[in-house]
Amino acid sequence: MVQTEQITFYTHVYSPYCHRVHLALEEAKADYTICSINLMDKPKWYTEKVNPTGKIPALAYGGPKPAEDAPPSDTSVKLRESLVLLEFLADLFPGAELLPADAVQRAQARLFTGVAEGALFEGFKAYFFMREPAQKLLDALDALQAALPADKPFAVGDKWCIADMAAAPFLARIVLLLEQDLGVYPAGEGVKTLAVIRGEKYARLNKYIEDVKAQPSFKATWDEATQIAIWSSNPMFKRD
């Protein structure tokens, strides 16, 4: 499909939810404009004109392209919620094959997305932000690994799709935060947890992480130095 309407992408590099949508936009080779939104100091018009919840990511679709740091046109359609946006982009750009054509594979993709949205997010939050033991994170990784096919590189086949894009931003951040020992857990625990994850038990998951990070659209949307700088300064990671 040839894109006929403008897309403005409201995002911030910090957010794994925004990263999901960024991956899909890149994979679809969409023509889009990025508008970075700092949730700690967001413009008043963002809540009024784009997303009444004040959250990111969001898209403005259609209408004239907004001026820099200006609200979108009232004639544009405003959309939000990362998983909704992934499905929207899959529908908007069918030629990009962001979802497989096969009905069974589409269902499997949505089941995999459910693991990423549920167990993986909860494990991520519990370990890095809530001072809970690593087991909840490891259980989530167990569930995600169990959902991966043994004979295909990605969630439902040989080509990665929005199911993989739902999981990849969290997986990349989990590995990076553990490598940097960043989180509310005691100092040194991150490196120990990373050693467990890099063990033989998680060989399939580690290959999967390697495969998704090798995708051109992932490389185009992931700057490790920037991520380290952002997460290192996260005030929520202050240890007692």
How many CB atoms sit inside 10 A of residue 207's CB? 12
One CATH from 1.10.3720.10, 3.30.870.10, 1.20.1050.10, 1.10.150.120 for 103-237: 1.20.1050.10
Question: 3-state DSSP helix/strand/coil percent for the chain, to nearest 5?
Answer: 55, 10, 40
pLDDT in the model for residue 2: 74
Backbone angles phi, psi at 207, to 5 degrees: -65, -40
Question: Are the C-beta atoms of residues 80 and 57 closer than 8 Å to each other?
Answer: yes
In whole angstroms, what is the distance from residue 144 CA to residue 170 CA?
12
Residue 58, SS3?
Answer: strand
pLDDT in the model for residue 221: 98
Residue 9, SS3?
Answer: strand
In whole angstroms, what is the distance from residue 14 CA to residue 182 CA?
14
Greatest CA separation for the chain: 54
pLDDT in the model for residue 240: 67
- The residue ranges of DSSP E strands in 115-210, in sequence order, are none
- Determine whether domain 7-96 maps to CATH 1.10.8.60: no
Question: Are the C-beta atoms of residues 183 and 190 closer than 8 Å to each other?
Answer: yes
Question: Are the C-beta atoms of residues 9 and 59 closer than 8 Å to each other?
Answer: yes
Entry field: residues in the chain: 240
In whole angstroms, what is the distance from residue 12 CA to residue 35 CA?
8
pLDDT in the model for residue 1: 66
Give which of 150, 90, 144, 156 is closest to 118, Cα–Cα: 144
Q: Each residue's pLDDT tens digit in the chain (240 positions)? A: 678 999 999 999 999 999 999 999 999 999 999 999 999 899 999 999 999 999 999 999 999 999 998 999 999 999 999 999 999 999 999 999 999 999 999 999 999 999 999 999 999 999 999 999 999 999 999 999 999 999 999 999 999 999 999 999 999 999 999 999 999 999 999 999 999 999 999 999 999 999 999 999 999 999 999 999 999 998 888 776
Burial degree of 13 (CB within 10 A; 0-12, 13-18, 19+): middle
For the chain, the structural domain boundaries read 7-96, 103-237
- What is the DSSP track for 35-46? EE--TTS--HHI
Which run of H or of E encompasses 17?
Answer: helix 16-27
pLDDT in the model for residue 236: 87
Strand order in the sheet with 7-11: 32-36, 7-11, 58-61, 77-80
